[in-house]
């Protein structure tokens, strides 16, 4: 299954092991999925910063690293394991989410992979 990854906010990760980022996954059938990728260090950091005993987030995916290579690996693995719908939240179609008539092939992949 072909997919592209788009970051709704500019990819600006300073510490691959302690940060989080929103991720859109676009499929060739024009469906768009969403998740926020967190590292374990980032979850602990935010809990300590806010002095809270728990942490939760809608559409949360915990990853080892926020490098682009690892993000691609996580998305690919979820798709290959048939876990896309349980790992990410389906949020709409390309037209609905990006308000564009562009097709899957016309969208830029922020991982620089072209089309997976």
Does an H or E element contain 36, and which? strand 31-39
**Residue-wise pLDDT tens for the chain (116 aa)?**
899 999 999 999 999 999 999 999 999 999 999 999 999 999 999 999 999 999 999 999 999 999 999 999 999 999 999 999 999 999 999 999 999 999 999 999 998 765 55
- Give the three-class secondary structure for 53: coil
pLDDT of the residue at 54: 96
Q: Please, which residues bridge with residue 3 across strands?
A: 27
Nearest residue to 59 (alpha-carbon basis) of 77, 84, 80, 26: 84
* Per-residue pLDDT, 113: 66
Instruction: State the pLDDT at residue 23.
Output: 98
pLDDT at position 38: 98
3-class state of residue 110 by DSSP: coil
């Amino acid at each position: 299954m072909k997919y592209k990854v788009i970051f709704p906010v500019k990819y600006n990760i300073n510490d691959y092991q302690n940060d989080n980022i929103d991720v859109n996954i676009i499929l060739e059938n024009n469906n768009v999925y969403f998740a926020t990728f967190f590292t374990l260090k980032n979850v602990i950091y935010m809990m300590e910063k806010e002095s809270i005993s728990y942490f939760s987030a809608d559409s949360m995916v915990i990853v080892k690293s926020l490098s682009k290579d690892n993000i691609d690996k996580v998305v690919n693995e979820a798709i290959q394991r048939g876990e896309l719908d349980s790992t990410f939240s389906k949020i709409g179609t390309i037209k609905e989410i990006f308000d564009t008539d562009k097709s899957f092939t016309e969208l830029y992949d922020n991982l620089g992979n072209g089309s997976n």
